[in-house]
Amino acid sequence: MTHATHAPCTTLPSWPHAYPASGARATLKALNEDFIVTELPLQLPCGTGEHLWLDVEKNGANTAFVAQQLAAAAGVTERDVGYAGLKDRHAITRQWFSIYLPTGKAGETPDLTTLEHPEFKVLAQSRHVKKLRPGDLQGNRFRIVLRDVKGEREAIEANLKAVAAQGVPNYFGAQRFGFDGGNVEQGRAMLAREIRVRNPKKKGIYLSAVRSFVFNEVLAQRIAQGLWGRTLPGDVMDEAGRPTGPLWGRGRVITTDEAQALENGVAERHATLCSGMEFAGLDQERRALVALPADMTWEWPQADQLVLSFSLPACNYATSVLDEILHTTEPERHAENEPEAEAP
């Protein structure tokens, strides 16, 4: 067994869309203020407790960097800082952070709202009884400005109306898979024991990429077979009554009939990945196949400018919505792999 840390990159498949392509194009994130994300928390701080919660607005910084700066300002380690999800760097985003900061003998709490930094500001702070952990959010509210829109407005409007009414395929976004799908290939090599990954954080990233890849393959297979918007015999439904797909792991496949046959067919094509995930100790879970944007509105301030607003639940990607409407490109400065606003 080799101890190499890199395996060859792979290009991700072009997974099918649910709706006919509009043929339109636009620029995404020309400015940070073109992509505004507001976290929708599960709860608000109660005012007492050992954790100091901070309502933070950042502009041009990623979530991990802000967490580092907050830890330094509070005089604690990074492990004492919590947050519910990663937010985009090239955007204006608002989210909560928590810091484990029991009051000392003097009972004083540092006022971090006075902290000055060019890329973020603390809007408010209050104490709470628990630490923020990944996934501790309802979802995110987005306001997205698309510039230099080119294409037929009638085709764009048709897809906007379809997305608002029927939702979009709940694909995991490309950033989950690393540059050119490299995290999937690293995960495959790791599960096939071609490489050994000692870093627990990297191991988790690769497992997440592989699991997400298999889910996308199941969803893509359903769309390719003309099954978008349909329920198959044997489907497992979520609480909202939507069909779900597998997040692979240990345990029996709980679908039956046609749904199980489709999922098993994908699993057979990716046997190394699926058996490896089971061996790695991941438990089988389910994820909705459809993402439905809530309170979706749009307007055309200019002939070549489209402004969208909508909310998505945790673990849903804004790019899944945009991809069904038109093709977007970002300025070159966004070429690096950045987390998107979602709840991992």
Residue 238 appears among annotated catalytic residues: no
Q: How many helices (H) and strands (E) does the chain have?
A: 7, 14
Q: Are 53 and 128 in contact (CB under 8 A)?
A: yes
DSSP 75: T
Q: Which residues contact 275 (CB under 8 A, 6 or more apart)?
A: 191
Distance CA(341)–CA(322), nearest Å, equals 13
Q: Phi/psi of residue 8, each to 5°?
A: -60, 140
Structure tokens at 245: 């797909």
DSSP 250: B
Q: Phi/psi of residue 42, each to 5°?
A: -70, -35
Distance CA(238)–CA(40), nearest Å, equals 21
Active-site hit among 34, 80, 88, 235:
88
3-state secondary structure 129-177: CCCCCCCCEEEEEEEEEEEEEECCHHHHHHHHHHHHHHCEECCCCHHHH
Annotated catalytic residues are 88
